[in-house]
Structures are given as C-alpha cells and as structure tokens.
Amino acid sequence: MERTPVEEFDAVLVGGGIMSATLGILLAELEPDWRIAVLERLPGSGQESSNAWNNAGTGHAGLCEFNYTPRRPDGSVDVSRAVEIGAQFSASLIFWSRLAARGAIGSPQDFIRAVPHLGFGRGADGVAHLRGRFEALRGHPLFAGTEFSDDPTVLAGWLPLMFGGRPTGEPVAVTRSPRGTDVDFGVLTRRLLSALEAQGGVVRLRHEVTSLSRTGGFWEVGVRDLGTRVPRRLRAPYVFVGAGGGTLPLLQRAGVPEVRRYGAFPISGQFLRTSRPDLVAAHRAKVYGHADPGAPTISVPHLDHRTVDGQEYLMFGPFAAFSPRFLRTGRRTDLVRSVRPGNVPVLAASARDNRSLIAYLVREIAATSRARLAALRRFVPAAEPGDWELVSAGQRVQVLKMSGDPGRQRGAMVGFGTEVVTSAGGSLAALLGASPGASTAASTMVGVLAASFPDRMAGWAPQLDGLAPSTDSPAPLDPAELAARTDEARRVLGLDRADGASGKESA
Ligand SMILES: Cc1cc2nc3c(=O)[nH]c(=O)nc-3n(C[C@H](O)[C@H](O)[C@H](O)COP(=O)(O)OP(=O)(O)OC[C@H]3O[C@@H](n4cnc5c(N)ncnc54)[C@H](O)[C@@H]3O)c2cc1C
C-alpha cells in the first residue's frame, strides 16, 4: 500500500493548550521563517486543562498561596518559591501585554481581570505562618501593596461573605494583595493560536498524534485526521509534546528512554460553584487557605471569584476525585495502559512512600456532600447547600519517578511541579507535571527553548528579554526593574483600573 506523503515543518507542537500556544508564538517571533504546526485532537483548542472550567483561573504570582511559602523548622518562612513564581508570572504578564499592545490577541479584558488575592490563616499556627509570610515578603517590589489584618472589622470589610457575622473564637488573619488576577486560560489559548496563524503558523484541530519516531535526524509524526480518518505524516527536526495528560502515553509509545521508568497517576479536581448574584457580589476576591496539619499541600482550599463567558461565579475547592482517564476526554483504560515493565518499580515505591497522600485521596474520594459543605463553611459560615453545585474540573496527571540518593530511593510524585523532559539532543521536548501551571507558561516555555536550543539562546536573548524576561536569563532583571516592567504590563492589560485597592492601613 502506498504511504501518505510527508509534510515538512521546522517545528511540530503536539496539543493545542496554553503551553503549545505560548511556545508557538515565541518560536514565530524568534524565527519568523519557520514553518510551525500545532496539532490538536479535539474540535477546539484550549478545551482540556487550559479550559476555564477545568482549572481555577488563578494567575499564580505567589501573592497568597501558603504552599509556596513553607515554614522552616525554626518557624521562619521561606519565601523564595513565592518570589520565583511572582517573577514567572511577571514574565507571562509582560508576554501577554506585548501581544495585546499590537492588537494580536484582542481585548485583554476577555481573558484577564484584576481580582485581589488574599491569604487566609486559621488557628494560632495558621495566623503565625501568615504573619511570617507577610513580614518576609514585605518590601519586595513584586509584593508591593500587600496588607495584613487580624481585625474582625477590617476582615468583614474586605471579605463580607467570609467574615460578616463569623462566630468569634478561632484566631484568624488575612493578607490582601491588590495585584491578583483571574485568568481565562481557554480564551487566552485560542487568542494565542489565532495570533500564531496570523503569523503563518498552521493549527490543525481534530488531528491526533498517534506516533513519534526518529529517522535520519528528523522526527516523523504520525497523525490520525479524526475528521476524514485519513492517516497523515509530518516531518520536522523539532517536536514539542505539550499534550497535557496525553504527553506521557505518547512518549511511552515512542519509546523515549528518558521516561522509561516514569509512572503516572491521575487525580481529578471538583469544585463547588454558585452564581447566586448576592453571594458573588459579596466576594470579589480569590482567597487561599492552608492545608490542615498533616494534610498534603494539594488539599489547600480556596474560594475564588471567577468570570467565565461574561458571567460571574464563585468556586470553592478543589476536592480530589478519581478517574482512570489521563485527559477529561481520555479513555478509561489510560491508567492501565500506562503500566509498563519499566515503571512497575516506581509505581510500587510511590504507593509505599506516599501513604499520607494516598490516605488523603481515599478520604477525599469517599467524602460526602456533608463533608464538602463543612469544608465550605470554614470559609463561608452561612453557606447553604442548595446554592452550590458540584462541578468537575480537569485531570492532573501526577508523574511518578524515583528520587533521592542511590540506595535510598523513594517513589516521588513530581506532578506538583513542572518538569521539562528532552530527548535526542533536545530535538524533542515534553512537559510533564501540572503546577503552578498555566500562569507560568511564558517562563516555562522559555525554559523549553533553553533546553531544546542551547546554541541559539545567546542570539535569541535580546528578543526574549523583551518578550518574556526569564529568571534564567544570563542578565536577569533586578527586582525593581522587573516590577517596573510588570507595572507597565499591568497598565497595558487594563489591570489597574479595578485593582480593588482598599485604602485601609496596613497592620
Ligand atoms: C483542577 C485544576 C486546577 C488548576 N488551577 C490552575 C490555576 O488556578 N492556575 C494555573 O495557572 N493553573 C492551574 N492549573 C494547571 C493548568 O490548568 C495547566 O497547567 C495548563 O492548563 C496545562 O496546559 P497544557 O497546554 O500543558 O495542557 P492542556 O491544556 O491539557 O492541553 C493539552 C492538549 O493536548 C491535546 N492532546 C492530548 N493528546 C494529544 C494527541 N495525541 N494528539 C493531539 N493532541 C493531543 C489535548 O486534547 C489538549 O487540548 C489547574 C489544573 C487543574 C487540573
């Protein structure tokens, strides 16, 4: 039988989510003559994890999340990760603002809005952690304007739904940053991919990548056209796999040696959601709490104001749930099919070494609606079950791999960070893991460029520093310069118009 003809590209990007969309634009900016193709299996782009309803829409900038500021054994707070994530989110803001300023991605208000970010400390320990976090970040330019209060009157003014009429007794405190954002990463993905097409890129929907093989210094990409059922072949010297939960299975099928020992375990997220206008109006904020003592960091609850398709909502969660699929639209057999002789040891070690996480997941999966309501009432004491519906969000595929010194290896979940895997001299790069996710897409994709094209980075650096300044750049910006460029980006994106500044005194 005659084989289908091969189409030639300079770069093929697998998956039409926020990551491929971001990388596609960066490559098109740096190498305008390159032929770039994005292949997406669904009928629309940005429909899996990047879809607004499949994530929490938080522009993670380290402003309020306890899990980025762990306490040291002496009780002091390590804020280095929050500062790093703040700088990474700045890179995203600068990247989006550069495109918005020249009209390439439409009106920014369609995908990003100012929503204050607040940290919520409960109990003496939680309050001490929050105060330590606030003190350690005070004075950093990216965290300017953050306020701290444990005064019930101030808290009721900031967060009427949470603190108006809250029973007294438990110590509580809140930090409040006016620099927070709510992002619709689905709309943003589609805008970025349209901009890529306008720059000559090719975006093919309903095109599922079924195989990757390396021949003669090129990658051959096998594709099933789900519309016509015709198999297609593309060839390119460079492939990026940004297929979300589909990444590991595709790399396994391709026999990529770097992931031979990796396993994967999917965890779904669920949220309680309301659109009752008086509730939504009483909570224009994203409030992040902390995990209960002994609980894993993924159990961090948050109550978020969201705007999706012009409609306002509140979302509370996440609650962990289980589905064996690796994508929301994946197959029930995904988990079973991911088990290979090479990754059985890591699966066994992960089950052995993550007992508290597994116990937490079992508890969550068995949780009743009454338990979910009790969790919500820690934030919204007067919450009524009839006002809130349970909705499913996206799948997080936690990647499992061995870590630690030889001889004392443990099975570890890396899904709470992001890992860039490269193979064949950097000619193939792939993104595994989920957190902090879409917010850091610009700097994560600059990292992919550095891992894939180390010899070109010096030549690309001046342009990249303008587009998405990276903390890994040979000449990184100092915090004041970065904050000045972030402020300019916020202005272009219209984020300072309704930044929620309260005018209240800092404690
Ligand atoms: C519950 C939850 C809450 C989250 N909250 C936040 C948050 O508040 N803020 C934040 O910044 N991040 C958040 N994230 C993380 C964020 O959603 C992800 O990091 C981000 O969307 C990942 O983008 P992606 O492009 O890698 O993957 P995706 O958006 O999943 O895109 C991958 C695409 O690849 C396609 N694909 C898969 N296999 C193939 C194939 N073989 N051929 C062709 N196409 C294929 C899929 O259909 C999909 O469209 C959250 C995630 C979850 C699950």
Mean pLDDT of 344-369: 80
Mean of all residue pLDDT scores within the chain: 91
Helical (H) or strand (E) element with 27: helix 18-30
CB 289 within 8 A of CB 378: yes
pLDDT tens sequence across 91-103: 999 999 999 999 9
Q: What is the pLDDT of residues 210-267, one digit of tens each?
A: 999 999 999 999 999 999 999 999 999 999 999 999 999 999 999 999 988 888 888 8
| pLDDT greater than 90 at residue 414 | no
Instruction: Choose between 223 and 295: higher pLDDT.
Output: 223
- Does pLDDT of 503 surpass 70? no
Query: What does the pLDDT look like over 171-187, one tens digit per residue?
Result: 999 999 999 999 999 99
Mean pLDDT for the stretch of residues 164-170: 87
CA 48–ligand 1 middle distance (angstroms): 5
Q: Residue for token digits 């209240």?
A: 504
Cα 445 to middle of ligand 1, angstroms: 14
| Residue 413 pLDDT | 63
Distance, CA of 210 to CA of 222 (rounded, Å): 5
Phi, psi of 70 (to 5 degrees): -70, 155
Q: Is the pLDDT of residue 356 over 90?
A: no
Centre of ligand 1 to C-alpha 328, Å, is 10
* DSSP-derived secondary structure for 330-387: S-TTHHHHT--GGGHHHHHHHHHH-HHHHHHHHHHHH--HHHHHHHHHTT-TT--GGG
> What pLDDT score was predicted for residue 496?
86
Ligand 1 atom nearest to CA at 431: 26
Q: Is the CB of 21 under 6 A from ligand 1?
A: no
Whether residue 300 is predicted with pLDDT greater than 80 in this model: the reply is yes
Question: How far apart are the CA of 228 and the centre of ligand 1, in A?
Answer: 26
Centre of ligand 1 to C-alpha 397, Å, is 10
Residue whose C-alpha is closest to residue 443's, from 423, 467, 415: 467
- The pLDDT value given to residue 448: 95
Cβ-based neighbours of 113, under 8 Å, separated by 6 or more: 181, 182, 307, 495, 498
Q: What is the mean pLDDT of residues 340-363?
A: 81
306: β partners: 313
What confidence category does residue 501 fall into, taking pLDDT thresholds of 50, 70 and 90?
very low
Distances (CA, A) of 135 to 129, 175, 329: 10, 11, 44
| pLDDT tops 70 at residue 191 | yes
Phi, psi dihedral angles at 36 (to 5 degrees): -120, 130
More confident: 367 or 326: 326
Q: Phi and psi at residue 155, in whole multiples of 5°?
A: -65, -40
* Beta carbon of 397 within 6 Å of any ligand 1 atom: no
Q: Mean of the pLDDT values across residues 43-54?
A: 96
Q: Which residues contact 107 (CB under 8 A, 6 or more apart)?
A: none
DSSP secondary structure letters along 136-149: HHTT-GGGTT-EEE
186 lines ligand 1 (CB under 6 A): no
Q: How far apart are CA 136 and CA 479, in angstroms?
A: 15
345 pLDDT tier (thresholds 50, 70, 90): confident
- pLDDT confidence of 104, banded at 50, 70, 90? very high
From CA 49, how far away is CA 53, in angstroms rounded? 8
CA distance 355 to 49: 27
pLDDT above 90 covers a percentage of the chain that reads 73
Compare 97 and 167 and report the one with higher pLDDT: 97
Ligand 1 neighbourhood includes 58 CB (under 6 angstroms): yes
Q: Looking at residues 459-467, what average pLDDT do you find?
A: 93
User: Which atom of ligand 1 approaches the CA of 438 most closely?
Assistant: 11
What average pLDDT does this structure show over 125-152? 96
Amino acid 499: pLDDT: 43
Which protein residue has the closest C-alpha to ligand 1 atom 21?
50
Atom of ligand 1 nearest to the CA of 250: 41
Q: Is the CB of 439 under 6 A from ligand 1?
A: yes
CB 172 within 8 A of CB 120: yes
DSSP string, 50-81: TSGGGS--B---SSS-GGGSPBPTTS-B--HH
pLDDT at residue 1, as a whole number: 54
- State whether the beta carbon of 444 lies less than 6 angstroms from ligand 1: no
Please determine, for residue 134, whether its predicted confidence score (pLDDT) is greater than 80: yes
More confident residue, 470 or 287: 287
Q: Is 443 in the pocket of ligand 1 (CB under 6 A)?
A: no
pLDDT at 358: 78
Residue in 106, 310, 75 with CA at minimum distance from that of residue 194: 106
Query: Six-digit token pair at 358?
Result: 């597994």
Supply the residue whose CA is at minimum distance from atom 35 of ligand 1.
15
Does the pLDDT at position 338 exceed 70?
Answer: yes
In whole angstroms, what is the distance from residue 195 CA to residue 497 CA?
Answer: 26
Centroid of ligand 1 to alpha carbon of 46 (angstroms): 8
CA 197 to ligand 1 centroid distance, Å: 21
Instruction: Judge whether residue 275 has pLDDT over 70.
Output: yes
Above 90 in pLDDT, residue 151? Answer: yes
Query: Which of 20, 25, 50, 95 maximizes ligand 1 atoms within 8 Å of its Cβ, making it the mutation to test the pocket?
Result: 50
Residue of 74, 78, 50 lying closest to 62 (CA atoms)? 78
| pTM given for the model | 0.93
Q: Point out the ligand 1 atom lying closest to the alpha carbon of residue 48.
A: 30
Identify the band that residue 506 occupies on the pLDDT scale cut at 50, 70 and 90.
very low
223 lines ligand 1 (CB under 6 A): no
